[in-house]
Amino acid sequence: MRVLPMILVSLLWLLLCTAHRFLVVVPPLSQSHYIMLESLMKGLANKGHQIDVISPYPQKKPYPNYTDIAKWATEEYVNNVTYEFVQVLAGSNPKIFATLFGSNICEAHLGNPVIQKLVRDPPKDPPYDAMIMEVRNNSLVYILTKYF
């Protein structure tokens, strides 16, 4: 429980500082998690911070200081999972689940030209001050931490 106070202090500190540039990475297949992060991102944007977002859920209308720079391709999984499919996954080897929703998704997204350009040539004027992401067991977002 010591993590929560550290997170709150960090967020308060960021809100009191001058404007910064953030890269926000929202993991694929987690719309409920995105809803929570969206409030944080828009709050930071309202305070004058520049927010660049990699997410499966781009904004429908432009928002000041908020830029969707890449969109995860998740259409084949979202709202396309049948009861039978879940039963197969539930009774299968966890490795199959991890491969389908882990490695396969990771490989597909890292092939995105926008993400490859971001990794090879990150913005320098101004550079990213921090990266915000949800900590999960998803190698896709961890790969990006090496660069930002």
Report the predicted TM-score, pTM, of the whole model to 2 decimal places.
0.69
CA 137 to chain centre: 13
Neighbouring CB atoms inside 10 A of 108's CB total: 15
pLDDT of 146 over the 80 cut: no
The pLDDT value recorded for residue 135 is 67
The confidence score (pLDDT) of residue 73 equals 62
Helix (H, G, I), strand (E, B) or coil at 112: coil
Domain containing residue 43: 21-145
Mean pLDDT of 29-37: 76
Asked if residue 30 is part of any domain, the answer here is yes
Is 9 among the domain residues?
A: no
Q: Give me the mean pLDDT over the 6-17 stretch.
A: 74
Is the residue at 68 inside a domain?
Answer: yes
Give a yes or no: residue 7 inside a domain: no
Decide if 16 is inside a domain. Answer: no
**Over the chain, what is the mean pLDDT?**
77
Quote the distance between the C-alpha of residue 49 and its chain's center.
Answer: 17
Please give the pLDDT value at position 45.
94
63-86, pLDDT tens digit by residue?
999 999 877 665 555 566 677 776
Strand partners, 130: 22
The average pLDDT across 92-108 equals: 66
Closest CA to 21 of 60, 59, 69: 69
Is residue 5 very low, low, confident or very high in pLDDT (cuts 50, 70, 90)?
Answer: confident
Q: Which residue has the tokens 């910064």?
A: 20
**Looking at residue 79, what DSSP letter applies?**
T
Number of domains in the chain: 1
140 contacts: CB under 8 Å, gap ≥ 6: 27, 28, 105, 106, 109, 110
